[in-house]
Structure 1
Amino acid sequence: MNKKLIVIMFNELDFKLLEKYCSILPGKFKNFEALFRLPTRQTGNHYVKNNEIEPWIVWPSFFNGKSYKKHKIFRLNEFFLSKYKNISEILESQNIKVGSIGAMNIPNRLVNPDYFISDMWITTKPDKNHLIHSIQKALTQGVKNNESLKLSLSSIFYILVGLLISLRVRNIFTFMSLGIQSIKDRYIRALWLDYYINNLHYYLFNKNKTNFSTVFFNAGAHIQHHKYNNSIIYKKYRDTNSKDYFLKILKVYDKILGDYIHNKSFEFIVLNGLMQKQESKGVHYYRLNDPDIFFDLLGIDSSEIHLRMSKDMTLHFDSTRKVKVALSALRSVKINNENVFGDFAVFKNKIYLSITFNKEIKNKNKVKINNLNLEALSLFNLIAIKNGSHISSGTAYFSQRFSLLLPKRKIIITEFFNLIIKFFKM
């Protein structure tokens, strides 16, 4: 098998906004300028409800070719709900060499991948290679502790090993520059991680002579959610005292693109899966200050509390009776007569839920818990005011040869499955 294809996933990245930067700064980001000249299609999703326009729902649709209504994967780590095989599994069964780094909410069910580093927020079978597995564990700890930057000595060691085996001389300065900035800036830390992931992917892809590989970058989505209104393009809402991170995104991602779009030894797809739109007022995201104390006050007898990405959590119980009691209690929690919790799902004595209250909690706001009226701000911690929210449309760019397979219309995200399978049959 001589055919090679790389899928480069810039999660939720606003390509239209970046194109405006390139137009006002011509010649500065040459790889993006080259990307914007390639064959392109708008992409769409099957979703109609806002709470279904999430990357952990959209990307499984890309990989397994099924809409949410069929694959049923609603949250991170719920991939076990889907019975469908993903693209990599299908191709591997056809003796095509596959690899993957970071694909969101995609488990490792492969028999013998060239390499597999999972999404840092899910639990799945580790790569058979001890070094790759150890790098995965180290990166996962780093992502989950991005705020505090707490890493074990073992994690530091394996991250450095991954850096050294994949380091190219021309990338040393960028790593050093991003590393220094990362000490005090969590958004630059996210960009450093994406740059690290790319170098590791580029090394593993070439070393193993992989035929089909996917690589996932999330810093752009993370930064957009928090810093959309800092863009110089959005002057109406711009905070002139804040940094415009889009120039940072462009600088790092332009270097990443340079590894792929001028290389004629493989075909590629570059896409965002879904996009964000600007929210001028901002959407508030909260977490519980102390989940154990909060659920004790509610009278919820949970055997385990598992906090997940952002505002999501899972409560474990040892009986269906306790699940019913807990659901009733959770649905009673309100601030200003609005429900605090929502997006409930029950599976095997587990309650999956989210903090869906997304408005500003003020000093005078109360939470009624049983017979108590408590200060809301003493129980809930503001983790972010997001000024970028999800929309279901996206954009994809294609290498010239792969573009011959494309329809002349918008591509639904589930259609990529068959397009990729068809490419390897050509």
Structure 2
Amino acid sequence: MTDQKIIFLSFNELNFDYLKRYIEIDKLKNFKKIINELKITTSEQEYQNLEPWIQWPTIYTGKKAEEHNIFRLGDVINSDHKTIFNDIEDLGFDVGVVSSMNLKNNLSHPLYFIPDPWTQTKPDNNFWSKLIHSTISKFVKKNSSLKINFLDLLSLSLIILKFAKIKNYFFYLNFIFTGFKYKWRQALFLDLLLNDIHLQYFKNKKPNFSNVFFNGIAHIQHHFFFNSKVIENNELKNPEWYVEKNKDPFGEALKIYDKILGDYLSRNDIKLILATGLTQTPYDTVKFYYKIEKHEEFFSRLKIDYVNIQELMSRDFIIYFYSEKHAKNAETILRNLKLNSKKIFKIDNRGLNLFITLVYPEEIKKNELLESSNIELYKYVSFVAVKNGMHNEKGFYYDNFSKNIKSTIKISEIKNIILKIFN
């Protein structure tokens, strides 16, 4: 087994039911090879638990949400659960990780470990791993405002020169020059780069088990699904100012992920696993997403005293306080904030910190003042997206080695399916 290599591709939330309709239209030759071999996966029943930062820890640990008790992105750092990566190391094999969502680096000797952009866990000691993690984190957290500086660009350029495959240069250049207008291409740029990084790490380090996580397809479904040419619903349309009606970001993305999948299906020296965790289906209404952009200035206007703020994915952030009393006072202030009689924030008080999501669902316009204050919210937020996709417990699983596997499995069973290979 020591010379056996297994690669686990995490295509986060990819809906293969919609993908099937593109296979012949867009000649997705690699997805076509596996489409009839897919298994259905099931996850949590409660909708509030249908979040990727909950479901992927279920896959890693083999435990359901109420067992692993990880309900927020980044909260895994407070967990001591053993994961599939720990178990494989304990069996004497080597592992590698590239951007696995909500995974803590508590490994003994990973050959490489690049954390996801949101979880505050350490990368491995390699210079490139540290640079990749810090650079990608900055770009991901700035993706709604596009504010980048020279050092960020220099770091990204070095990473591209080091890892990008020449055959992909056309795609990178296209995404760079068009990504400011067509923002979904920023996500495709990142995932294509992560794949090139993973391929080079895997080639050089040769782990027995390696996982690479692609979040771009989840982002694109979440923000641009209504523009898919296979969704036949005249009521589910994006505003023309948001995305041109003749653009199909989902279909465009599938061509890139088909290309990525082909990098692995073409190899005969690996066993391959693919999973989606859960999926997305088209949302049933129009909902706007914003994020707080000027945290310090905004909370200063509210006279909220805090230690620091940690930005997370999209609308989420954590505020840390000096005491539970400070946290409670801040919670009271924030819960009273409303715009057009609708609440602004969803708040989880966790003692010394507040986990906050900006949940106001409508368009935030100029000159509108928050109720009970004289603050123009428009000045302190940046537009993220119009919500297009919603989570569904159904997911998909594929591997090219299992025998007699059921047609429907729980995502909590994936860990043991993988461990059987190593045992």
TM (normalized to structure 1)?
Answer: 0.89
User: Are positions 1:14 and 2:11 aligned together?
Assistant: no
User: Are positions 1:42 and 2:40 aligned together?
Assistant: yes
- Range with greater deviation from structure 2 (81-90 or 213-222): 81-90
Q: What corresponds to 1:189 in structure 2?
A: 186
Change (3 A) 1:186 1:330: same
| Residues 155-170 of structure 1 mapped to structure 2, 5 A cutoff | 155-170=152-167
Q: Deviations over 1:221-266 (max 9, x none)?
A: 1111111111111242356634111232122111101111232211
Contact persistence 2:39–2:408 (CA under 8 A): yes
Q: What corresponds to 1:67 in structure 2?
A: 64
Provide the aligned length of Structure 1 versus Structure 2.
415
- Aligned partners of 1:166, 1:356: CA distance in 2, in Å? 38
Q: In structure 2, what residue type is equivalent to 1:29? A: L
Q: Deviations over 1:104-129 (max 9, x none)?
A: 11121122211111101121112111
- Aligned partners of 1:379, 1:133: CA distance in 2, in Å? 31
What SS does structure 2 have at the residue aligned with 1:404? coil
Specify which of 405, 417, 420 is matched with residue 415 of structure 2: 417
| Residues 22-421 of structure 1 mapped to structure 2, 5 A cutoff | 22-25=23-26, 28-37=27-36, 39-48=37-46, 50-147=47-144, 149-182=146-179, 184-235=181-232, 236=234, 237-238=236-237, 241-288=245-292, 290-347=294-351, 349-361=352-364, 367-369=370-372, 372=373, 377=378, 381-399=382-400, 401=401, 403-404=402-403, 406=405, 408-421=406-419
- Aligned partners of 1:263, 1:66: CA distance in 2, in Å? 32
- Range with greater deviation from structure 2 (85-94 or 133-142): 133-142
Contact persistence 1:231–1:238 (CA under 8 A): no
Change (3 A) 1:286 1:183: closer
Q: In structure 2, what residue type is equivalent to 1:268? A: L
- Aligned partners of 2:333, 2:56: CA distance in 1, in Å? 33
Q: In structure 2, what residue type is equivalent to 1:384? A: A
Q: In structure 1, what residue type is equivalent to 2:271? A: E
Q: In structure 2, what residue type is equivalent to 1:230? A: N
Q: In structure 2, what residue type is equivalent to 1:341? A: F
Contact persistence 2:28–2:258 (CA under 8 A): yes
- Aligned partners of 1:317, 1:338: CA distance in 2, in Å? 26
Q: In structure 2, what residue type is equivalent to 1:352? A: F
- 1:333, distance to aligned residue in structure 2 (A): 2.5
What SS does structure 1 have at the residue aligned with 2:108? coil
Change (3 A) 1:363 1:182: closer
Contact persistence 2:61–2:412 (CA under 8 A): yes
Contact persistence 1:147–1:186 (CA under 8 A): no
- 1:33, distance to aligned residue in structure 2 (A): 0.9
- 1:328, distance to aligned residue in structure 2 (A): 2.5
What SS does structure 2 have at the residue aligned with 1:259? helix
State percent identity of aligned pairs: 34
Contact persistence 2:141–2:311 (CA under 8 A): no
RMSD: 2.5
Contact persistence 1:92–1:98 (CA under 8 A): yes
- Range with greater deviation from structure 2 (352-361 or 62-71): 352-361
Q: In structure 2, what residue type is equivalent to 1:36? A: I
- Aligned partners of 1:64, 1:387: CA distance in 2, in Å? 30
Q: Deviations over 1:16-62 (max 9, x none)?
A: 1111011334xx2211111213x2211111241x3321111111111
Q: What corresponds to 2:241 in structure 1?
A: none
- 1:147, distance to aligned residue in structure 2 (A): 4.3
- Aligned partners of 2:314, 2:305: CA distance in 1, in Å? 23
- 1:208, distance to aligned residue in structure 2 (A): 1.7
What SS does structure 2 have at the residue aligned with 1:9? strand
Contact persistence 2:144–2:383 (CA under 8 A): no
Contact persistence 1:71–1:83 (CA under 8 A): no
- Aligned partners of 1:203, 1:55: CA distance in 2, in Å? 27
Q: In structure 2, what residue type is equivalent to 1:318? A: Y
- 1:386, distance to aligned residue in structure 2 (A): 0.9
Q: Which consecutive residues of structure 2, in runs of 5 or more, have no partner in the other structure?
A: 239-243
- 1:378, distance to aligned residue in structure 2 (A): 5.4
- Aligned partners of 1:297, 1:151: CA distance in 2, in Å? 26
What SS does structure 2 have at the residue aligned with 1:124? coil
Q: Deviations over 1:161-184 (max 9, x none)?
A: 433443444333333333333354
- Aligned partners of 1:125, 1:5: CA distance in 2, in Å? 24
- Aligned partners of 1:80, 1:11: CA distance in 2, in Å? 21
TM (normalized to structure 2)?
Answer: 0.89
Contact persistence 2:331–2:347 (CA under 8 A): no
- 1:185, distance to aligned residue in structure 2 (A): 3.1
- Aligned partners of 1:157, 1:365: CA distance in 2, in Å? 39
- Aligned partners of 1:150, 1:292: CA distance in 2, in Å? 17
Change (3 A) 1:180 1:323: closer
- Aligned partners of 1:355, 1:51: CA distance in 2, in Å? 16
- Aligned partners of 1:150, 1:374: CA distance in 2, in Å? 24
